[in-house]
Amino acid sequence: MKPAIIVLAVLLSCSGLCGQSDFSGMGRSYGRSMVISQHGIAATSHVLASQTAAGILARGGSAIDAAIAANAVLGLVEPMMDGPGGDLFVLYWDARTRQYAGLNASGPAPRGLTPALLAGKGFREMPSDGIHSVTVPGAVEGWAQIHKRFGRLPWKDLFTDAIGYAERGFPVTEVIQEAWAGAENVNKLRANSESTRVFLPRGKAPEVGEVFRNPDLGRAYRLIANEGSDAFYKGAIAEAILKTSNHLGGTMTAHDLLSFAPEWVSPISTDYRGARVFELPPNGQGMAALEMLNILGTSQPDAAGPFSAIEMHKRIEAMKLAYSDLRRYNADPRSYDVPVAKLLSKEWALQRAALINGGRANCAVTAGPVKPGDTTYLTVVDREGNMASWIQSVSQGFGSGVTVEGMGFELHDRGGGFSLDPESPNVLAGGKRPFHTIIPAFMERGDTRIAFGIMGGANQPLAHAQFVSNVVDYGMNIQAALEAPRFTKRTANGCDVSIESRVPVTTLLGLSERGHQIAIRREYTQEMGRGQAILHDSRSNTNYAASDPRTDGAAVPEAIPQQP
């Protein structure tokens, strides 16, 4: 169906709901209110995880303590999104030192996983599931290292809720059930007998409200709680990982697990109309969000608003340019000199912005010439103003589809982020980290600091840029900015773009006339990512939190601390 016909069909079916209307009186254009408190708050994609984190804060735990506890719960209640078998990235604001700390806890490919080995097995491109898509999981050691530096409560106390829910069970929520029951996820689980046993009770995904138990994961969490990360990298869990890999012909070794160490990194940033936006450096894709913002910053935002055809066209075209550069140059900086400074310069943004045709979509975007030089997000602020911007993932739904025997969690498929093209800086090599999609972020302006993230694979940088623009250019509060209709696109090339149906029909028609091939999505779809955000006002010591309605989450404040 041609784009104009698609848009016309939506126009005819909207019954006035999609267009702009002028209603007098009180009201607002977004659904949820912000959660506002002068105590700590946790915003996660599942209410049980938010509740756990708020409880940790109420006990005097730090933002990092609360984030680890919430992440452990999320690994149980959102098994297709994250868990101990995945990677972790964190941006942390230390209120005492007034400094950011960045942690890259993404694991490398096993030393034995090489292009030659895959070619010998008949692979012409990187597998996106199965044992040869598995890289070393970095999350658990990431938890351990950041807890040593910024934790306050005892390590073992952070896993109590996750173990309890794993052993006693929890009711499955709506958004998670929808993802769990998706045909692609179910087929992936059925391809592995252990995955089928653990995640398809009675042969199918649980229903909404059905109580799901995972005592095997409860066992794994008990081991981690009692023995620390050693349980995962050289203890019983490591043995189970290696046993599982060997059964499936994988290349993971004890040395691969033992030798892993997260990396402390400094964030990269840019100024966007007076707001400073921070991301983590490669091998993550945060630089694409900053480059997109730089391109948008070369011209004024459209006065007609963020959902005008002019503004959305500019956002989509800026995204394509930034993503083409990202795909050409992003790689593990330990093996390739990624030209971050060049790509984030204002001069580069001007050169790239000059390629945008205001009246026509570009369907064949190429990277600029530079000399080489599905996921869960949560955020927590504690009562002292320390803030964690935290993202963890097993990559695609249920990761590799390989569940560790007897441990109740799946291994991620981050190896699918490599290329087998020998000319690519992101070419597979043993011991190298792949191109990574998950990115935590911060934004600061004046007395306010916002920790935010919007998960969802390639969607993340463009969603970050839309959120920042909504706040900075159009004065939205963080809840309105998260809820606002979004577009998404997975690749730089092509004129295809997915847009939520809440965007005005006049805008959809204007974009279609410019050559965009529009796919209309539901009002609030997971395809646009699932975000959380917390704003801390240091002047009033007040916290404001937002949780995306595209997920089952909530922002939950800590209870008033009890007086001794």
Is 379 a known active-site residue?
no
Catalytic site residue from 375, 376, 437, 448: 375
Q: CB under 8 Å to 550, separation ≥6 — which residues? A: 175, 524, 525, 526, 528, 529, 530, 531
Which residue's structure tokens are 């990235």? 89
Supply 50's token pair: 């938010």
One-letter-per-residue 3-state SS of 144-205: HHHHHHHCCCCHHHHHHHHHHHHHHCEECCHHHHHHHCCHHHHHHHHCCHHHHHHHCHHHCC
CA distance 111 to 255: 9
Measure the CA angle with vertex 70, ends 69 and 76; round to 5°.
Answer: 100
User: 181 in the Ramachandran plot: left (φ > 0), alpha (ψ -120 to 50) or beta?
Assistant: alpha
On whether the CB atoms of residues 415 and 132 are closer than 8 A, the answer is yes
Supply 478's token pair: 């963080």
Closest listed residue to residue 332, CA positions, set 289, 281, 391, 269: 281
Supply 128's token pair: 């996106």
Q: Where are the beta strands (DSSP E) in 206-312?
A: 211-212, 263-265, 268-272, 275-279
Instruction: Note the Cα 509 to chain centre separation in Å.
Output: 31
Measure the CA angle with vertex 301, ends 298 and 302; round to 5°.
Answer: 130
Supply 333's token pair: 């900086």
Question: Which residues are known catalytic residues?
Answer: 375
